[in-house]
Amino acid sequence: MPALPTLEHLAVLSDDAGIIQHATENVPNRKTGYCTDDVGRAFVVALQALQLAPKDELADRLASTYLAFLDDAQLEDGRFHNFMSYERAWLDDVGTQDSIGRAIWALGYGIRYAPREPWRRVCRVLFDRALNAIESLEFPRSRAYAMLGLAHAYPALHEVSYAAAFRRLADTLVAGYDAAHDGDWSWFEPEMTYDNARLCEALIRAGQALGEASYGDLGLVTLAFYERTTTMDGVFVPIGNLGWYPRGGPRAMYDQQPLEAYATIDAQLAAYDTTSDPARMAAAELALAWYYGKNSRGIAMANGGGCFDGLGEEAVNPNMGAESTLALLSAAYTMAARRARVLRAVR
């Protein structure tokens, strides 16, 4: 079992404003500035690190910095800026839908898991304001990210408004599936693109939190289709972003992105929570192994506490930016926490 990656590279990418988006190899590329997309992910990672090591001073400091960024990023109507320059000027009037969804996800996670009561209160204030922005989300992944925030906030607080928003978003994913699935194509869209397993996970989590078996059942059906599509000869092979996978067409093998393995781990663990099927745990472990060399090129993507940005057919992208590094850290921390839970249950 590989050693748990440290926060060392995350600390290199971070400063007292947030986390730099990109890197040139392992050196932060300050010209690319910051984005809410990555800061939301980083806030979750810092809280995960604190769950594993509650006295980790670095994780504590990073979590506080990232939450301050999210607070500053939020607009009066509940939406968020996304892009900030290195000079700390906002570069957009309003952020992308995915960045809004990811901010909601991070805040919901904070409501449930932030170790300090003041942090949980701040997360709730921002989260409640962000509920106004949910209706503006039109894209399936943006909605799925918001659903994952609700999957944490609703069990923590049991607010009726959270359940209603959760159900509305889940219904949109169901409607997408009804419109797109055809024969053997059991998917939400006519094309598989990025962060695919999050759609399955969001529905599985909706079924668990809301007690609606139909949501969870559809999440499991689509996850099974996704797993068949991305498992080749016992290796996890995510959809590449050089062409994606259109229905009826060829699926792209490369460039494979690190966030796909992390999303698959979370989806498979959600499925395990519903089914208690050990095959789901094995599938999660297989996705984690992608980072450590069990992939279609046999190359380790994890590099200390960082992760290379993409697995290509001819070469690995040597840069270790925020998205890829955060995917590795969250994937590894998620599996470490789950293994610890399983071990405690056995004892």
Segments forming the whole domain that contains residue 254 = 8-346
Which CATH number covers residue 130? 1.50.10.10
Specify the number of domains making up the chain: 1
Does residue 236 fall inside a structural domain?
A: yes
Cα of first residue to Cα of last residue in the chain, in angstroms, is 20
Evaluate whether 300 touches 292 at the Cβ level (below 8 Å): yes
pLDDT reported for residue 347 = 65
Q: Which two tokens stand for residue 247?
A: 């229905």
**Domain membership flag for residue 121:** yes
pLDDT given at position 1: 67
Average pLDDT, the chain: 97
Confidence (pLDDT) at 342: 77
Q: Domain for residue 3, yes or no?
A: no
Using 50 as the pLDDT threshold, list the residues of the chain that sit under it.
none
Angle (CA) 41-148-166 rounded to 5° is 145
Q: Is residue 2 part of a domain?
A: no
Residue 299 is predicted with a pLDDT of 97
Within a domain: residue 227?
yes
Q: What is the dihedral angle through the alpha carbons of 189, 260, 231, 197, rounded to the nearest 10 degrees? A: -40
Q: Cα(201)–Cα(222) distance, rounded to whole angstroms?
A: 9
What pLDDT was estimated at residue 75?
98
In this prediction, residue 329 carries a pLDDT of 98
